[in-house]
C-alpha cells in the first residue's frame, strides 16, 4: 500500500506492507466555506463574554499576540479579521502585533511578510518577542505554583490584549493555543525555564490532551488569567491547515470549547500497541528542525510496544537548529539514559532541556530512526538517532505490526484501555 506522509512542502510517498499496516489520521473535517466569515462570527458571537468590539473603547492601544513561524496558524486571516472588527475604534498606529516566540528565534522580515501578508506588514507594526532582552520585559509577580513572571512590556502596557492561536494536542502542555500565547509565548527566559523544569515536564499529567491537573498548563493558565487578556481568538484546523471552526471570547471558556473540538478531531483510540510506528511532524512549517520533530516522536510513542521502533520523517531544513541550546544539551551525554539522569538531577533548568528530556525518555524505550533531507547520519548519531534514506526498505526489514501517523502530531493515538 502507498501512504503519503506530510513532509516538508511536497510530501513523501512510502510503500508499506498492506497486510500488517494500520494508518491513523485525524477525523476528516471540511474547512468552513468562508474562513473570514467564520472568524467574524467568533469575534461577534463569542463563547463567553461580549463581542470584541464591545470590549474596546476609541483611542485605546491594542496588542495582538500571534504564533511564530514554526506554527501553521492562519495569521494572514485572523489578524485582518481582528483589524476589520476594530476599524473606526482604534488607529492602526496604536496597534502592535507581537510574535509570541517564547525562546525561539525571531522571524525575519521575509518570514513575517509570508506569515501575515504584505497588507498587514505594511500597515501594522510587528515585533518579535525576545525572551532574553530584559529591557523589553516587565515584572508581573509570582503566579501559579511559584512561577516568577516577566512579560513583554508592550503587551503589559497595552489597553487591549488579544491572543490569537490555533488549538491542537500538545505533548506536554495538553493543548496549544489559548493561554500559551501569553506564557511562554511572551514571557522572559526565566519564566519559561520554570514552566519547563524537569519536575513539571516529568509529571505523568504533563502530556497530550490533559489541561486540568497538568502542572505546565495549570501554571500557564494561571499566568494568563492573573495578568489579563481582553479577548482570545483560537481556531481548529484540518489536515490542509484550513479553518474548520473558530472560537472567541473570555479566555478559559473559549479555550475549553476549542480543546473539546480539537480532541474530537485529533485524538484517536487504538486497541493494542504496535511494533513499529511511522510518524511525521506534519510537514512544513512544523518539521523545520529536529527540535520540533520530538512532537512527532512523542505522538508515535503513545502506541508503541516497549522496545519497538519509531521512524520519524521530518525534513529538518533548519537543522537541529543551530540557535538555542537544544543541540548542545542533546549531544552532551553518551546515551539517552545519561541525558535523562543529568537533566533530572539539575538544580537549575537549562534552555531547551525539556525537549531533550522528553526525547531521551522516548529513546530509552524505543529505537528511533529519522528520515531527513538536511541532517546527515553522522549528525543524527551525535543525538543517539539513526538515519534511513528509504522508509519502505527499513519497514520491510522489521517484523511486527506497523502503525502510520501521516500527519504526525496532528493525530494523537492512544490505547483505548487508557
Q: Report, as residue numbers or ranges, the catalytic residues.
A: 104, 170
Chain length of the chain:
418
283 phi, psi to nearest 5 deg = 75, -175
266: number of CA atoms within 13 Å, CB side?
A: 30
Q: Determine the Cα–Cα distance for residues 211 and 273; give it in Å rounded to an integer.
A: 25
Please tell me the distance from the alpha carbon of residue 61 to that of residue 89, in angstroms, as a whole number.
10
Handedness of CA 381, 9, 299, 179 (dihedral sign): positive
Which of 235, 278, 203, 259 minimizes the C-alpha distance to 13? Answer: 278
**Grid cell listed for 324:** 538555542
Residue 271: exposure state from Cβ atoms within 10 A (0-12, 13-18, ≥19) = exposed
Q: How far is CA 41 from CA 34, 52, 242, 338, in A?
A: 11, 11, 16, 52
Q: Supply 406's cell numbers.
A: 501521516
ω into 285 cis (within 30 of 0): yes
Residue 200, CB half-sphere, CA atoms under 13 Å: how many? 27
Instruction: Write the DSSP symbol of residue 94.
Output: G
Select from 83, 159, 87 the least CA-distant residue to 121.
Answer: 83
Helix (H, G, I), strand (E, B) or coil at 313: strand
What is the greatest pairwise CA distance in the chain?
A: 67
Q: What is the CA radius of gyration of the chain?
A: 21
DSSP 335-371: SHHHHHHHHHT-SSPPTTHHHHHHHHHHHHHSEEEEE
Amino acid at each position: 500500500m502507498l501512504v503519503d506522509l506530510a513532509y516538508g512542502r511536497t510530501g513523501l510517498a512510502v510503500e508499506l506492507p498492506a497486510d500488517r499496516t494500520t494508518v491513523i489520521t485525524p477525523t476528516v473535517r471540511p474547512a468552513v466555506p468562508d474562513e473570514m466569515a467564520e472568524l467574524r462570527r467568533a469575534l461577534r458571537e463569542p463563547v463567553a463574554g461580549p463581542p470584541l468590539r464591545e470590549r474596546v473603547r476609541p483611542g485605546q492601544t491594542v496588542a495582538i499576540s500571534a504564533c511564530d513561524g514554526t506554527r501553521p496558524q492562519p495569521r494572514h486571516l485572523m489578524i485582518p479579521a481582528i483589524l476589520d472588527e476594530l476599524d473606526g475604534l482604534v488607529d492602526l498606529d496604536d496597534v502592535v502585533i507581537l510574535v509570541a516566540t517564547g525562546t525561539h528565534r525571531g522571524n525575519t522580515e521575509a518570514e513575517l511578510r509570508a506569515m501575515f501578508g504584505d497588507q498587514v506588514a505594511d500597515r501594522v507594526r510587528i515585533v518579535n518577542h525576545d525572551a532574553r532582552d530584559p529591557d523589553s520585559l516587565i515584572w508581573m509577580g509570582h503566579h501559579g505554583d511559584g512561577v516568577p513572571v516577566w512579560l513583554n512590556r508592550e503587551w503589559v502596557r497595552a489597553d487591549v490584549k488579544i491572543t490569537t492561536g490555533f488549538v491542537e494536542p500538545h505533548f506536554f502542555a495538553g493543548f496549544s493555543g489559548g493561554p500559551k500565547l501569553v506564557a511562554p509565548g511572551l514571557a522572559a527566559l526565566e519564566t519559561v525555564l520554570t514552566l519547563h523544569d524537569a519536575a513539571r515536564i516529568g509529571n505523568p499529567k504533563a502530556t497530550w490532551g490533559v489541561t486540568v491537573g497538568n502542572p505546565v498548563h495549570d501554571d500557564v493558565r494561571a499566568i494568563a488569567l492573573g495578568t489579563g487578556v481582553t479577548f482570545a481568538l483560537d481556531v481548529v484546523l484540518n489536515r490542509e491547515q484550513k479553518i474548520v471552526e473558530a472560537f472567541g471570547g473570555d479566555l478559559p471558556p473559549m479555550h475549553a470549547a476549542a480543546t473539546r473540538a480539537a480532541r474530537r478531531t485529533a485524538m484517536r483510540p487504538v486497541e493494542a500497541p504496535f511494533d513499529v510506528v511511522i510518524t511525521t511532524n506534519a510537514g512544513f512549517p512544523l518539521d523545520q528542525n529536529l527540535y520540533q520533530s520530538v512532537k512527532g516522536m512523542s505522538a508515535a510513542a503513545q502506541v508503541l510496544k516497549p522496545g519497538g521502533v519509531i521512524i520519524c520523517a521530518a525534513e529538518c531544513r533548519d537543522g537541529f537548529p543551530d540557535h538555542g541550546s537544544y543541540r548542545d544539551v542533546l549531544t552532551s551525554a553518551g546515551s539517552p539514559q545519561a541525558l535523562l539522569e543529568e537533566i533530572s538531577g539539575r538544580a537549575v533548568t537549562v534552555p531547551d532541556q525539556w525537549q531533550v528530556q522528553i526525547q531521551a525518555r522516548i529513546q530509552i524505550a524505543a529505537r528511533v530512526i529519522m528520515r531527513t533531507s538536511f541532517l546527515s547520519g553522522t549528525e543524527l548519531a551525535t543525538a543517539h538517532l539513526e538515519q534511513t534514506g528509504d522508509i519502505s526498505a527499513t519497514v520491510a526489514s522489521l517484523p511486527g505490526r506497523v502503525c502510520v501517523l501521516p500527519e504526525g502530531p496532528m493525530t494523537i493515538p492512544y490505547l483505548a484501555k487508557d
